[in-house]
Chains A and B, each alone.
Chain A
């Protein structure tokens, strides 16, 4: 078998690769992907990507040789798809990494997609294996711009978890950007998902342009979790995009507690208890927290349709939440005054009463723009203290109670961690 020539420093002679008979070229590529090519140098810095030299050389080869390489890679993929043990583990992972640079723009792309769909059968490879050939296969499908159905990608995420975020995010975006953003409103926003989204958005931005991304964000923003909103807001600011309006009422000085009490009273006065039965609490939830799996969005629509004051009040509630994201205090003051005036118009007693409360606490509320502090941590701590106080068993005296309070920060529960879905 002839092999490509290398000089004394391990540099490959491109011409000698082009002059290899096809059989020898095939044998050399196989050896290289199996980590058995000794003569050519690599980076030597520990990244170990035997496929990389082939990916690097491929565009520099003559066209007939490139076509030979395409055929060889397809042949190896067929072997992998047929279950050949020769390609299990690292060699298979290296082979799959060669799919994008070699077959991405080739005539063999469709054949490669068919083979990859076969290989992507979740029963074929263990998704916990290292290297994860299933994950590599999905990466290759995306690299070939294959549009698998939305359900296919969602299933990958359900089965493998958020470590598959990069492929699921990009796979869904290939279906449509709207599919991706819709899906993002329905899954927990974890570190891995955040990295994948923020990593992928520059690419989407380049493909779709700023207006399309701004439109998509504006549409879905309110349905996203607060953590996701914060991340996307930061991304928008960094990329010069219009920052969507966030939702923030829970962490501001006047919490849902005030609103919730008034809401309950209003619901009672309009005597729609039967309709509200079991759904009243949905009115207190922020829209982005509604659980589609429990059909909460639809269940909330019913009382809103039946009771005219409710959608009005609901609209006003949402409108008030925007108060916390004004650019400066002057704009916020204007917005608050405007809200109070409008709240008096609909003739809903609760709204009027609440508007009065807001007006009375106007300066305190607007002080948020001088010192943007949340009362959330304070309320959370108070709640902890109250809970300890009520759990009187095991608290023999006041000094011990004090010690228990001082030790709150050592409890296993997060006091205030709005970023965690498991916050208690």
Chain B
């Protein structure tokens, strides 16, 4: 269901309030504009999810910060509700993260006392047998436990290296996956994992894209009929095809299936 279709079921004042709030958000920044475009285009969420979002928007003051906060708060409860994506077994999912960010994350999650220790531990594992990494991180969640994880894969051969078709350098990969441009120039860490039994990959929706406090410009919805979500490459990678992507529950390091790679 789309937001437009859901709004048609609401009273006129609610429709006007939502339109006004989203206009305010879209004129506040480029990020806001992109988010609002995606909200109007989203069709993979049901009426209940839109009800939460509309209720939150109607209740929010007409201020960009408050609108964004209201949206984030309502969408956070509706993640992983997009259609499920049956992937063949085995499918290797890839997650690319700036090394610094990943180390900060491990410290934030409380697995390491300091970023320098985390960096040494991660670098110690780069290139090592996947079983070593999977064993050492078997209890480590690879993202905040109350959030989701994003992964890309090779659509032609899902069991192969998901980064195999991507450029070899960090910014080349970032560009194709549409990662944060502020991180340009920093080394990238590549993780490959399988999903545990019972964990379903799903189509990414605006719920996952805007459920975090920080928003990324580079998210767009896969067109109708697409077999998975699709990344939004940076403008300079405009000629390159987007990569398939899915979202799923947070998994542990025990699911790592290939050596960690660091790309400069």
Contacts and interface: CB of A to CB of B under 8 A. Distances in A.
A203 B121 contact: yes
Given A10-B217, A46-B147, A200 B181 contact: no
Contacts, number: 173
A41 B110 contact: no
Contacts of A405: none
A206 B123 CA distance: 11
A101 B118 CA distance: 13
Interface stretch (B14-22, B153-161, B195-203, B206-214): B206-214
B46 to A, nearest CB: 21
Given A35-B213, A135-B110, A9 B30 contact: yes
Interface stretch (A111-119, A137-145, A311-319): A137-145
Nearest to A48: B213
Interface stretch (A191-199, A221-229, A362-370, A386-394): A191-199
B68 interface: yes
A51 B213 CA distance: 12
Interface string B24-65: 000011111100000000000000000000000000000011
B120 interface: yes
Overall SS of chain A's interface: helix
A163 B120 contact: no
Contacts of A46: 143-144, 147-150, 208, 211-212
B101 A7 contact: no
B219 A44 contact: yes
B113 A42 contact: no
Given A9-B218, A46-B211, A97-B107, A142 B179 contact: no
Interface string B74-118: 000000000000000000000001101100110110111111111
A191 B253 CA distance: 14
A48 B147 contact: yes
A238 interface: yes
Contact of B101 (A52, A192, A238): A52
Nearest to B122: A202
Contact of B100 (A35, A56, A169, A171): A56
B165 interface: no
B1 interface: no
Contact of A47 (B114, B140, B143): B143
A358 to B, nearest CB: 36
Interface in A16-57: 35-36, 38-53, 55-57
B114 A170 contact: yes
Nearest to B96: A45
B212 A10 contact: no
Given A142-B114, A195-B139, A44 B181 contact: no
A101 B115 contact: yes
A50 B108 CA distance: 11
A159 to B, nearest CB: 16
B212 A45 contact: yes
Given A9-B218, A166-B110, A41 B182 contact: yes
Interface in A139-186: 139, 142-143, 163, 166-167, 169-171
A157 to B, nearest CB: 13
Given A143-B113, A238-B132, A52 B217 contact: no
A10 B31 contact: yes
Contacts of A322: none
A163 B217 CA distance: 36
A139 B132 contact: no
A53 B182 CA distance: 8
B110 A163 contact: yes
Contacts of A9: 30, 181, 217-218, 234-235
Contacts of A169: 113
Contacts of A6: 29-30
Contacts of A198: 136
B181 A10 contact: yes
Contacts of B212: 42-48
Contacts of A271: none
5 contacts: A42-B213, A45-B216, A47-B147, A143-B115, A166-B113
Given A7-B30, A9-B234, A45-B143, 12 more contacts: A11-B182, A39-B29, A41-B216, A41-B217, A42-B214, A44-B180, A46-B144, A46-B212, A52-B104, A199-B117, A200-B113, A203-B117
Q: Which 10 A-B pairs have the closest CB atoms?
A: A42-B214, A44-B216, A46-B147, A8-B30, A202-B124, A170-B113, A143-B114, A203-B120, A11-B181, A142-B113
